[in-house]
Amino acid sequence: MQKIRKAIIPAAGFGTRMLPATKAMPKEMLPIVDKPVIQYVVEEAVASGITDIIIVTGSNKRAIEDHFDYSPELDESLRKQGKDKQRRELKQIAEMANFVYVRQKGPYGNGTPVLNCAPLIGDEPFAVLWADDLVIGKKPRLKQLIEVYEEYGDPVLTAIKTNQAGTKKYGIIDGVSVQKNVLRVKSVIEKPGPQRAPSLWGAVGGYVLTPDIFPVLQKTKMGHGGELWLVDAIFALSKKRSIYARLIEGRYCDAGSPLGLLKTNIELALHRSELSQEFKKYLRALKF
Protein backbone atom coordinates (compact mmCIF):
# COMPACT_ATOMS: atom_id res chain seq x y z
CA MET A 1 0.00 0.00 0.00
CA GLN A 2 1.33 3.43 -0.97
CA LYS A 3 2.20 5.78 1.85
CA ILE A 4 0.26 9.04 2.02
CA ARG A 5 2.80 11.83 1.64
CA LYS A 6 0.87 14.63 -0.11
CA ALA A 7 -1.82 16.95 1.24
CA ILE A 8 -3.93 19.49 -0.64
CA ILE A 9 -5.02 22.63 1.21
CA PRO A 10 -7.54 24.71 -0.78
CA ALA A 11 -6.97 28.41 -0.02
CA ALA A 12 -8.39 30.33 -2.98
CA GLY A 13 -11.70 31.53 -1.52
CA PHE A 14 -12.59 35.15 -0.81
CA GLY A 15 -13.26 34.57 2.89
CA THR A 16 -16.49 36.53 2.78
CA ARG A 17 -17.58 35.31 6.24
CA MET A 18 -14.63 37.25 7.69
CA LEU A 19 -15.05 40.58 5.85
CA PRO A 20 -13.86 43.30 6.18
CA ALA A 21 -10.73 41.70 7.71
CA THR A 22 -10.25 39.58 4.58
CA LYS A 23 -10.63 42.40 2.05
CA ALA A 24 -6.84 42.73 1.81
CA MET A 25 -5.65 39.75 3.90
CA PRO A 26 -6.17 36.07 3.11
CA LYS A 27 -8.52 34.49 5.66
CA GLU A 28 -5.96 31.70 6.01
CA MET A 29 -3.50 34.23 7.43
CA LEU A 30 -5.77 35.46 10.22
CA PRO A 31 -3.95 34.84 13.50
CA ILE A 32 -4.74 32.32 16.20
CA VAL A 33 -2.68 33.63 19.13
CA ASP A 34 0.61 34.24 17.28
CA LYS A 35 0.38 31.99 14.21
CA PRO A 36 -1.83 32.17 11.11
CA VAL A 37 -4.56 29.56 11.02
CA ILE A 38 -3.11 27.81 7.95
CA GLN A 39 0.15 27.15 9.81
CA TYR A 40 -1.70 25.02 12.36
CA VAL A 41 -3.18 22.98 9.51
CA VAL A 42 0.23 22.51 7.87
CA GLU A 43 1.74 21.49 11.20
CA GLU A 44 -1.01 18.90 11.63
CA ALA A 45 -0.23 17.48 8.19
CA VAL A 46 3.51 17.32 8.85
CA ALA A 47 2.93 15.69 12.26
CA SER A 48 0.88 13.04 10.40
CA GLY A 49 3.74 12.14 8.07
CA ILE A 50 2.99 14.44 5.13
CA THR A 51 6.07 15.67 3.24
CA ASP A 52 4.51 17.59 0.32
CA ILE A 53 2.00 20.40 0.94
CA ILE A 54 0.06 21.59 -2.11
CA ILE A 55 -1.67 24.90 -1.42
CA VAL A 56 -4.25 26.00 -4.01
CA THR A 57 -4.37 29.79 -4.04
CA GLY A 58 -5.93 32.76 -5.81
CA SER A 59 -4.65 36.11 -6.99
CA ASN A 60 -4.92 37.77 -3.56
CA LYS A 61 -3.13 35.04 -1.59
CA ARG A 62 0.55 35.95 -2.06
CA ALA A 63 0.93 36.41 1.71
CA ILE A 64 0.53 32.65 2.18
CA GLU A 65 3.50 31.93 -0.07
CA ASP A 66 5.55 34.61 1.67
CA HIS A 67 4.75 33.16 5.09
CA PHE A 68 6.08 29.70 4.25
CA ASP A 69 9.13 31.11 2.46
CA TYR A 70 12.53 32.02 3.89
CA SER A 71 13.20 35.75 4.42
CA PRO A 72 16.94 36.58 4.42
CA GLU A 73 16.27 40.19 5.41
CA LEU A 74 14.18 39.26 8.45
CA ASP A 75 16.66 36.54 9.41
CA GLU A 76 19.54 39.03 9.35
CA SER A 77 17.56 41.57 11.38
CA LEU A 78 16.79 38.96 14.04
CA ARG A 79 20.43 37.83 14.05
CA LYS A 80 21.62 41.37 14.76
CA GLN A 81 19.11 41.65 17.62
CA GLY A 82 20.21 38.34 19.11
CA LYS A 83 16.74 36.83 18.69
CA ASP A 84 17.95 33.31 17.96
CA LYS A 85 14.76 31.58 19.13
CA GLN A 86 12.65 33.50 16.63
CA ARG A 87 15.23 32.83 13.89
CA ARG A 88 15.00 29.08 14.49
CA GLU A 89 11.19 29.17 14.52
CA LEU A 90 10.98 31.03 11.20
CA LYS A 91 13.56 28.76 9.60
CA GLN A 92 11.56 25.74 10.70
CA ILE A 93 8.38 27.12 9.08
CA ALA A 94 10.10 27.28 5.68
CA GLU A 95 11.73 23.86 6.00
CA MET A 96 9.01 21.69 7.57
CA ALA A 97 7.64 20.53 4.19
CA ASN A 98 8.03 20.80 0.45
CA PHE A 99 5.57 23.55 -0.49
CA VAL A 100 3.96 23.66 -3.92
CA TYR A 101 1.51 26.37 -5.01
CA VAL A 102 -1.22 26.02 -7.63
CA ARG A 103 -3.52 28.76 -8.91
CA GLN A 104 -7.15 27.68 -8.89
CA LYS A 105 -8.76 27.49 -12.30
CA GLY A 106 -12.27 26.34 -13.09
CA PRO A 107 -15.76 26.67 -11.62
CA TYR A 108 -16.49 27.77 -8.06
CA GLY A 109 -16.70 25.03 -5.46
CA ASN A 110 -14.39 23.07 -3.20
CA GLY A 111 -14.03 20.25 -5.72
CA THR A 112 -12.18 22.51 -8.18
CA PRO A 113 -8.94 22.98 -6.18
CA VAL A 114 -8.69 19.21 -5.69
CA LEU A 115 -9.17 18.59 -9.41
CA ASN A 116 -6.53 21.24 -10.18
CA CYS A 117 -3.97 19.13 -8.30
CA ALA A 118 -4.51 15.89 -10.23
CA PRO A 119 -1.23 16.17 -12.22
CA LEU A 120 0.73 16.65 -8.97
CA ILE A 121 -0.93 13.74 -7.17
CA GLY A 122 -0.69 11.19 -9.98
CA ASP A 123 -1.68 7.70 -8.84
CA GLU A 124 -1.07 8.25 -5.11
CA PRO A 125 -3.54 8.41 -2.23
CA PHE A 126 -3.59 11.88 -0.66
CA ALA A 127 -5.14 14.07 2.01
CA VAL A 128 -7.36 17.15 1.76
CA LEU A 129 -7.54 19.60 4.66
CA TRP A 130 -9.47 22.86 4.81
CA ALA A 131 -7.35 25.80 5.91
CA ASP A 132 -9.76 26.95 8.63
CA ASP A 133 -10.64 23.59 10.27
CA LEU A 134 -8.62 22.58 13.33
CA VAL A 135 -8.78 19.70 15.77
CA ILE A 136 -7.22 20.16 19.20
CA GLY A 137 -6.12 16.85 20.67
CA LYS A 138 -3.25 14.53 21.50
CA LYS A 139 -3.16 12.75 18.13
CA PRO A 140 -3.43 14.77 14.90
CA ARG A 141 -6.78 14.40 13.15
CA LEU A 142 -5.11 13.49 9.86
CA LYS A 143 -3.02 10.79 11.54
CA GLN A 144 -6.27 9.23 12.78
CA LEU A 145 -7.67 9.22 9.23
CA ILE A 146 -4.47 7.76 7.79
CA GLU A 147 -4.57 4.89 10.29
CA VAL A 148 -8.03 3.93 9.04
CA TYR A 149 -6.88 4.19 5.42
CA GLU A 150 -3.89 1.96 6.13
CA GLU A 151 -6.22 -0.68 7.56
CA TYR A 152 -8.90 -0.67 4.85
CA GLY A 153 -7.29 0.96 1.80
CA ASP A 154 -10.35 3.11 1.05
CA PRO A 155 -11.20 6.83 1.35
CA VAL A 156 -11.82 8.15 4.87
CA LEU A 157 -13.95 11.09 6.04
CA THR A 158 -13.67 13.09 9.24
CA ALA A 159 -16.59 12.75 11.66
CA ILE A 160 -17.34 14.48 14.94
CA LYS A 161 -19.86 13.59 17.63
CA THR A 162 -22.62 16.16 17.58
CA ASN A 163 -25.97 16.66 19.35
CA GLN A 164 -29.59 17.19 18.33
CA ALA A 165 -28.95 20.82 17.44
CA GLY A 166 -25.94 19.75 15.35
CA THR A 167 -28.18 17.67 13.10
CA LYS A 168 -29.41 21.00 11.70
CA LYS A 169 -25.85 22.25 11.16
CA TYR A 170 -23.88 19.31 9.73
CA GLY A 171 -24.29 16.58 7.20
CA ILE A 172 -25.08 13.48 9.27
CA ILE A 173 -23.45 10.15 8.48
CA ASP A 174 -25.48 6.98 8.08
CA GLY A 175 -23.29 3.91 8.25
CA VAL A 176 -22.40 0.56 9.73
CA SER A 177 -19.93 0.26 12.61
CA VAL A 178 -16.85 -1.80 11.69
CA GLN A 179 -14.80 -1.04 14.79
CA LYS A 180 -14.69 1.50 17.59
CA ASN A 181 -15.01 5.02 16.16
CA VAL A 182 -15.08 3.79 12.55
CA LEU A 183 -18.12 3.49 10.28
CA ARG A 184 -18.46 2.15 6.76
CA VAL A 185 -20.49 4.96 5.23
CA LYS A 186 -23.81 4.31 3.50
CA SER A 187 -24.76 7.95 2.97
CA VAL A 188 -24.49 11.46 4.36
CA ILE A 189 -27.76 13.31 4.84
CA GLU A 190 -27.37 17.07 4.63
CA LYS A 191 -28.69 18.81 7.78
CA PRO A 192 -31.57 16.36 8.35
CA GLY A 193 -32.69 17.65 11.76
CA PRO A 194 -33.19 15.45 14.84
CA GLN A 195 -36.25 13.63 13.48
CA ARG A 196 -34.53 12.34 10.32
CA ALA A 197 -30.93 12.03 11.56
CA PRO A 198 -29.66 8.42 11.33
CA SER A 199 -26.90 9.10 13.88
CA LEU A 200 -25.12 11.88 15.75
CA TRP A 201 -21.99 11.60 13.60
CA GLY A 202 -21.45 14.94 11.86
CA ALA A 203 -19.37 15.11 8.67
CA VAL A 204 -16.77 17.91 8.69
CA GLY A 205 -13.67 18.80 6.67
CA GLY A 206 -10.64 16.56 6.37
CA TYR A 207 -10.30 13.60 4.02
CA VAL A 208 -8.00 10.84 2.88
CA LEU A 209 -8.80 10.18 -0.78
CA THR A 210 -7.66 7.82 -3.50
CA PRO A 211 -6.69 8.96 -7.02
CA ASP A 212 -9.81 7.44 -8.60
CA ILE A 213 -11.62 10.50 -7.26
CA PHE A 214 -10.23 12.58 -10.15
CA PRO A 215 -12.14 11.01 -13.08
CA VAL A 216 -15.25 11.09 -10.90
CA LEU A 217 -14.71 14.80 -10.18
CA GLN A 218 -14.32 15.48 -13.89
CA LYS A 219 -17.75 13.96 -14.54
CA THR A 220 -19.48 15.46 -11.50
CA LYS A 221 -22.18 17.97 -12.39
CA MET A 222 -22.42 21.35 -10.74
CA GLY A 223 -24.30 21.08 -7.46
CA HIS A 224 -25.75 23.50 -4.92
CA GLY A 225 -25.19 27.13 -5.94
CA GLY A 226 -23.91 26.06 -9.34
CA GLU A 227 -20.60 24.96 -7.77
CA LEU A 228 -18.47 21.81 -8.02
CA TRP A 229 -18.65 20.05 -4.65
CA LEU A 230 -16.06 17.52 -3.51
CA VAL A 231 -18.59 15.66 -1.36
CA ASP A 232 -20.77 15.01 -4.44
CA ALA A 233 -17.83 13.29 -6.12
CA ILE A 234 -16.97 11.32 -2.98
CA PHE A 235 -20.43 9.83 -2.82
CA ALA A 236 -20.48 9.10 -6.51
CA LEU A 237 -17.26 7.19 -5.82
CA SER A 238 -18.96 5.38 -2.91
CA LYS A 239 -21.12 3.54 -5.46
CA LYS A 240 -17.94 1.87 -6.73
CA ARG A 241 -15.98 1.27 -3.51
CA SER A 242 -16.26 1.49 0.26
CA ILE A 243 -15.96 4.83 2.09
CA TYR A 244 -15.19 5.03 5.80
CA ALA A 245 -15.64 7.69 8.48
CA ARG A 246 -13.43 8.15 11.53
CA LEU A 247 -14.95 9.68 14.67
CA ILE A 248 -12.14 12.02 15.62
CA GLU A 249 -10.66 12.05 19.11
CA GLY A 250 -10.13 15.71 19.91
CA ARG A 251 -12.00 19.00 19.90
CA TYR A 252 -13.11 20.28 16.49
CA CYS A 253 -12.76 24.03 15.87
CA ASP A 254 -14.21 25.92 12.91
CA ALA A 255 -11.97 28.98 12.61
CA GLY A 256 -13.69 30.21 9.45
CA SER A 257 -16.25 32.49 11.12
CA PRO A 258 -15.79 35.44 13.52
CA LEU A 259 -17.21 33.55 16.50
CA GLY A 260 -15.37 30.36 15.59
CA LEU A 261 -12.06 32.19 15.22
CA LEU A 262 -12.57 33.90 18.56
CA LYS A 263 -13.35 30.60 20.32
CA THR A 264 -10.34 28.92 18.70
CA ASN A 265 -8.06 31.75 19.83
CA ILE A 266 -9.27 31.34 23.41
CA GLU A 267 -8.93 27.55 23.39
CA LEU A 268 -5.42 27.53 21.98
CA ALA A 269 -4.30 30.38 24.24
CA LEU A 270 -5.43 28.30 27.22
CA HIS A 271 -3.30 25.42 25.90
CA ARG A 272 -0.16 27.58 25.90
CA SER A 273 1.73 27.14 29.17
CA GLU A 274 3.32 30.59 28.98
CA LEU A 275 -0.06 32.28 28.48
CA SER A 276 -2.71 30.17 30.18
CA GLN A 277 -2.29 31.22 33.81
CA GLU A 278 -2.38 34.97 33.18
CA PHE A 279 -5.09 34.58 30.54
CA LYS A 280 -7.32 32.62 32.93
CA LYS A 281 -6.96 35.42 35.51
CA TYR A 282 -7.98 37.93 32.87
CA LEU A 283 -11.04 35.90 31.80
CA ARG A 284 -12.19 35.40 35.41
CA ALA A 285 -11.91 39.13 36.08
CA LEU A 286 -14.15 40.10 33.17
CA LYS A 287 -17.53 41.53 34.12
CA PHE A 288 -20.55 40.99 31.86
* Contact yes or no for 181/246 (Cβ under 8 A): yes
**Continuous H helices in 49-140:** 62-67, 72-80, 84-95, 112-116, 118-121
Question: How confident is the model at residue 121, as a pLDDT?
Answer: 96
Q: Which helix (H) or strand (E) holds 146?
A: helix 141-152
User: For 12-62, what is the HEC assignment?
Assistant: CCCCHHHCCCCCCCCHHHCEECCEEHHHHHHHHHHHCCCCEEEEEECCCCH
Q: What is the pLDDT of residue 11?
A: 93
> What is the number of residues in the chain?
288
Q: How confident is the model at residue 2 (pLDDT cuts 50, 70, 90)?
A: confident
Residue 206 to residue 141: CA distance in whole angstroms: 8
pLDDT of residue 235: 85
Would you state the pLDDT for residue 152?
Answer: 95
Domains by residue range for the chain, with CATH: 6-285 (3.90.550.10)
Digit-coded pLDDT (tens) for 27-64: 999 999 999 999 999 999 999 999 999 999 988 889 99
Per-residue pLDDT of 154-186, as tens digits, reads 999 999 999 888 888 888 998 898 999 999 998
What's the confidence (pLDDT) of residue 225? 80
Q: What number is the average pLDDT over the span 83-101? A: 92
pTM of the model: 0.93
Nearest-10 Cα torsion for 252, 253, 256, 262:
170
Q: Which amino acid is at 108?
A: Y
pLDDT tens for each residue of 180-236: 999 999 888 888 888 888 888 888 989 999 999 999 999 998 888 888 999 899 988
The predicted structure's pLDDT at residue 166? 85
Alpha-carbon torsion angle 61, 67, 73, 78, nearest 10: 150
Strand partners, 56: 10, 102
Quote the pLDDT of residue 130. Answer: 94
What pLDDT was estimated at residue 175?
87
